[in-house]
Structure 1
Amino acid sequence: MGMKKARQFCPEEKRMVLGEKQTPNHILHLLISIVTAGAWLPIWLLVAMFGGGRYRCPSCGAVTRGYTTRKDRREMEKAA
């Protein structure tokens, strides 16, 4: 599995972080699909669509958000 990274807000640390989430291993799914003569294709499709999970903070492991609220922005400004 690979890692996808995006700028996210960590509510635990009250700061923007480079959030990480796992991505499916497409080479493995391709090989399984070939071996099973295509029977694995529906599973691969579901994993590709829903199997990524949520972005997590790399330092604390909390689930991150792609946005900040006004309250979060005020707290970050006070801390700076």
Structure 2
Amino acid sequence: NGNMVVGLMGIGFGGTPLGQRIDVIELDDDLSVVDVTEMTLPMQSGRFRALVQGPDGSLYTAMDGAGTIHKLTPGG
């Protein structure tokens, strides 16, 4: 539907900002960026191992470390 989702993790090394977030990037038909929505994440810091959209439309992310899977829904 013209959106791309990217998981980011900044560790404060090499100029990257601290923290983690998921960016939802809205693209137009020419693949130019229309808008970027930054989503901060409620879970503890960790490495993203996967970020997928489920059949229910929610985003799911698998995190390194404890091997947890988190369901991310709009507004909470």
The structure in which a higher percent of residues are helix is 1
Q: Answer yes or no: same fold by TM over 0.5.
A: no
Bigger Cα Rg: 1
TM-score, normalised to structure 2, is: 0.28
Question: More strand by proportion, 1 or 2?
Answer: 2
Q: TM-score, normalization: structure 1? A: 0.27
